[in-house]
Structure 1
């Protein structure tokens, strides 16, 4: 394990921490959207054989034959990864590292594990939406509605990949179909309020000691990684910490203020927590 003392010192000296997270964090927690692995087989093996489902992401974007089948898939997914979720060691380590410092989280993960691990919802921007809200599929209006309680009812009633028709959610205004609030088409309703809160956070710490802590984001990522590196380049007192397994990419203009930690997130955050003395 490399020397984490300089990273710990940067975090301890920071006025605030901006956390960026993508698929690598989800995978560390056991949620792999792209994999046809044992976990996928155990949860969705029947749908894999019935519909040719290849992975969770395939199911999320599938054109299901009916609303009963669409919500059969989604309710099972939400129940397993949200309804039954307990904060993992990697999230507990992250909470300890952040401690009492001000923070903001920008993530493309939609399973709401940050919020369920004790991070404040008003300090989280889920750029591609999340599984625990739904919207009118058309959309006839831009209100978002909670899904967890309904998804739990659906999951309890689901049989052979279908839910009872009476549990299918309908738009309260137009009566049309609802969909999980996830990026995937022209009808996605962006969370402008969360984006504005992130901008306010960045304005508040402009020119101050900001640590950008990036978790499990691939080098090609233009949604979060590229903007975070540009932000560090524009902030003379900011430090950049990227943790990823087997793939560390830092642009030349910020290398002098950056730390690249190559290894499993679970190991690295545990060691970083120890180095921070928390």
Structure 2
């Protein structure tokens, strides 16, 4: 895909263009990446990380939550001391605030679907219709067997909150280390990071709804709105959005991202690139009519 489509830097498209495309669209497909939650203040480095993980940083000297999540902790008690706090902060302690609320307001009354690589559940906590969401990469709020022995996930809020409350000296009590209720093996977080990722019945149902939505809008006025997706996993959102826009002459592709909002030259003039902070862009869009 990337070898056949060339891109150009952000054109600095106006917010008025984006609002007009949104208002003209018969359907909106939102592709949301990490940049959307980052614009809501969910940074994985800097003051937020340093405030909530100062004790871990003092011992392990890592610089962000991403590297901390893959750290080779020597014991499961230490592993879950970190991960329970990580999950609590990013899944339960904070919501998406005004950023997700503004996006919901802009989509209200429209025919939309959201595909997201985010795992923080901010869409549902903001009030988005669950039947219009596909969390393709997992959910911080779910455990799964690490083997896995079966394609089943388990709600983890109660366990996570208890591990956070009872951890001491960067360890959780051994009795709180989660074990698979089916095989007794170690549990892990339901995140797509290897071939052990569990796709449970809920995952497949969401994928089917998303696929059905796309098929029902193969033609006609469709806005493919990419928010903060970047190039970490372009094959999930960015490249499919480009392909579907190219295939439908009535579709528009829009990308909003700070410092990284290129659009394929082949899509001109049906591409809108807004290089800016997503929070400010969504807030400003509400002022256009």
Q: Deviation string for 1:18-68 (max 9, x for gaps)?
A: 1111121121122233x3x12111111211221233311112222322222
Are the equivalent residues in 2 in contact too, given 1:23–1:32 (CA < 8 A)? no
Choose from 216, 219, 222 the match for 1:207. Answer: 219
Choose from 198, 210, 217 the match for 1:198. Answer: 210
The residue that corresponds to 2:32 in the other structure is: 21
The residue that corresponds to 2:256 in the other structure is: 243
1:11 aligns with 2:22: yes
What is the rounded CA distance, in whole Å, between the counterparts of 2:91 and 2:231 in structure 1?
Answer: 28
Q: Deviation string for 1:92-144 (max 9, x for gaps)?
A: 11011001112111111111111111112232222221211111000000011
Q: Which runs of 5+ in 1 are unaligned?
A: none
The residue that corresponds to 1:108 in the other structure is: 117
Structure 1 runs (4+) deviating above 4 angstroms are none
What is the rounded CA distance, in whole Å, between the counterparts of 1:27 and 1:165 in structure 2?
Answer: 34
Aligned residues: 274
What is the rounded CA distance, in whole Å, between the counterparts of 1:87 and 1:187 in structure 2?
Answer: 29
- Coordinate RMSD, CA, aligned: 1.8
Are the equivalent residues in 2 in contact too, given 1:219–1:248 (CA < 8 A)? no
1:99 aligns with 2:108: yes
Are the equivalent residues in 1 in contact too, given 2:13–2:272 (CA < 8 A)? no
1:275 aligns to what SS in structure 2?
Answer: coil
What is the rounded CA distance, in whole Å, between the counterparts of 1:219 and 1:152 in structure 2?
Answer: 33
Are the equivalent residues in 2 in contact too, given 1:72–1:154 (CA < 8 A)? yes
The residue that corresponds to 2:284 in the other structure is: 271
The residue that corresponds to 2:84 in the other structure is: 75
CA gap 1:208/1:88 in 2 versus in 1, 3 angstroms: same
CA gap 1:205/1:65 in 2 versus in 1, 3 angstroms: same
TM-score, L = length of structure 2: 0.89
The residue that corresponds to 1:125 in the other structure is: 134
What is the rounded CA distance, in whole Å, between the counterparts of 1:121 and 1:74 in structure 2?
Answer: 26
What is the rounded CA distance, in whole Å, between the counterparts of 1:60 and 1:23 in structure 2?
Answer: 16
What is the rounded CA distance, in whole Å, between the counterparts of 1:65 and 1:194 in structure 2?
Answer: 37
What is the rounded CA distance, in whole Å, between the counterparts of 1:144 and 1:130 in structure 2?
Answer: 10
What is the rounded CA distance, in whole Å, between the counterparts of 1:61 and 1:183 in structure 2?
Answer: 13
**Equivalences for 1:127-146 in 2 at 5 Å?**
127-146=136-155
What is the rounded CA distance, in whole Å, between the counterparts of 1:66 and 1:103 in structure 2?
Answer: 44
TM-score, L = length of structure 1: 0.92
RCO higher in structure (CA 8 A, sep ≥6): 2
What is the rounded CA distance, in whole Å, between the counterparts of 1:255 and 1:146 in structure 2?
Answer: 45
Q: Which runs of 5+ in 2 are unaligned?
A: 1-11
The residue that corresponds to 1:164 in the other structure is: 173
